[in-house]
Amino acid sequence: MKPPRARKSSLSLLFVGGALAAGLCLYLLAGRYPRPGLLNPFTLGRDDIAMKVLLSLRLPRALGALLLGAVLGGSGAVFQSIFGNPLVDAGF
């Protein structure tokens, strides 16, 4: 059995991952172009416009946003560890 702190950490990681996946799916599927073509993966190949929009516009933007957010979060953590600004301390 895991200690309570490890269980809480894994549960919060699972929640954040699920929220991130749900947000990514919502971003990819919401928009002006027909939803039935995007929601059913078997008919996605038949709808050329929806396929082009999904693969050439929405997916690269979503992956770029995820990568940029991860890089900004990592750089913020590095800067905090280097400079040790007391105003942004977690225990403040």
Compare 2 and 14 and report the one with higher pLDDT: 14
pTM: 0.67
- Tell me the CA distances in angstroms from 7 to 1, 33, 77, one per residue in order: 9, 42, 23
**Quick one: 50 exposed, middle or buried, by C-beta within 10 A (0-12, 13-18, 19+)?**
buried
Compare 51 and 19 and report the one with higher pLDDT: 19
The contacts of residue 20 (CB under 8 Å, 6+ apart) are 66
pLDDT (0 to 100) of residue 51: 76
| Half-sphere exposure for 78 (CA within 13 Å, toward CB) | 6
The runs of H, that is alpha helices, within 30-58 are 35-39, 48-52
Read off the pLDDT of residues 53-92 as tens digits, 9 standing for 90 and up. Answer: 788 888 899 999 999 999 999 998 898 888 887 777 666 5
pLDDT (0 to 100) of residue 70: 93
Residue 48 structural domain: 4-88
Q: Give the count of domains, the chain.
A: 1
